Structure 1
């Protein structure tokens, strides 16, 4: 028997077929059932929209009380892999699952569907979609949506740091 060691980065950058094979081998070795492939959303039934920072803030307001969904939303602010024409950003559901510490892919999909629903309420259009899925276990979003999520996250972190700095400055008594 021969063994090899791969870093998370090597696995993440491997071709899709290799990643799928590795996932199957891990599930098999652990005696687990492999996750079912996500269902593709037919393009004629709905469409991915490019969300602005304001759209994402509205979505966040709708899901604020559901921490796992908030975590999934901000997970999609990370850089993804862009492909296709028109371009879409792809994120592996297994990576989302791992980074958000959810228990199974079904939970991640439930959170993504909550985000989709929140966007339909924000946009007041039942045909819009924040994300879609492919048959290889990926979540798909518009590149502008990913950039808007990242921008909202950065803005929130800057506000938090500024508030902490003001609070710290208020606690420091001037030397007299």
Structure 2
């Protein structure tokens, strides 16, 4: 058996996945059962979009690469799922995957995505994402599946499919029309636009 000692600074500087793994190991060693992050009671309505809606939003944001990156991050496997069909994604992980420096930049990208949705559907109340105040971005499961299907469509169209023997499964959204699911109200949006890193 090998023992490793980590300072608080080393733990703090570790990637989020490593910190979560450490939490799980410590909880397991103490006989505790880690729980999924609690999602707050929804007060804001989110739009669940189809693949066609996702394609329209992508066409409106395609010139802003960090925003496009965050848009496709919405299709990643969630940290947690709610009973209302919402996926919770960690803002810090989204930013790290897209190489943004702060969560404020991630939030600014999400705001641009929501503005594109509002222009597409003609409603200033429409929202694709919401923040739960605990470091998570919430998105409807149907939206995440639509964005993933769009990603797979783009990969197939560019002939970037996996090598022979591997397969890409298309995910078809559960509805072709936008529908509304509940989500919590977002934190105050940042005043600055996202910066490319």
Q: How many matched pairs? A: 138
Q: Aligned residue for 2:19? A: 11
Q: Which residue among 85, 92, 95 is the counterpart of 2:93?
A: 95
Unaligned runs of 5+ in 2: 27-39, 161-197
With normalisation by structure 2, the TM-score equals 0.62
> What is the rounded CA distance, in whole Å, between the counterparts of 1:14 and 1:54 in structure 2?
41
Does the aligned pair in 1 maintain the 2:80–2:89 contact within 8 Å?
Answer: no
With normalisation by structure 1, the TM-score equals 0.69
Distance 1:56 1:15, change over 3 A: farther
Q: Counterparts in 2 of 1:1-176, with a 5 A limit?
A: 2-3=5-6, 9-12=17-20, 43=43, 46-161=44-159
Does the aligned pair in 2 maintain the 1:56–1:148 contact within 8 Å?
Answer: yes
Distance 1:107 1:9, change over 3 A: closer
RMSD: 2.9
Distance 1:53 1:8, change over 3 A: same
> Which range is displaced more, 56-65 or 78-87?
78-87
Offset at residue 84 of structure 1 (A):
2.3
> What is the rounded CA distance, in whole Å, between the counterparts of 1:147 and 1:42 in structure 2?
21
> What is the rounded CA distance, in whole Å, between the counterparts of 2:152 and 2:41 in structure 1?
31
Q: Aligned residue for 2:168? A: none
Question: Which of the pair has more CA radius of gyration?
Answer: 1
More helix by share: 1
Q: Deviations over 1:107-133 (max 9, x none)?
A: 111000000010111111211110000
> What is the rounded CA distance, in whole Å, between the counterparts of 1:41 and 1:85 in structure 2?
11
Offset at residue 47 of structure 1 (A):
1.1
> What is the rounded CA distance, in whole Å, between the counterparts of 2:151 and 2:48 in structure 1?
17
Offset at residue 8 of structure 1 (A):
5.9
3-state DSSP class of the match of 1:161?
Answer: coil
> What is the rounded CA distance, in whole Å, between the counterparts of 1:57 and 1:13 in structure 2?
36
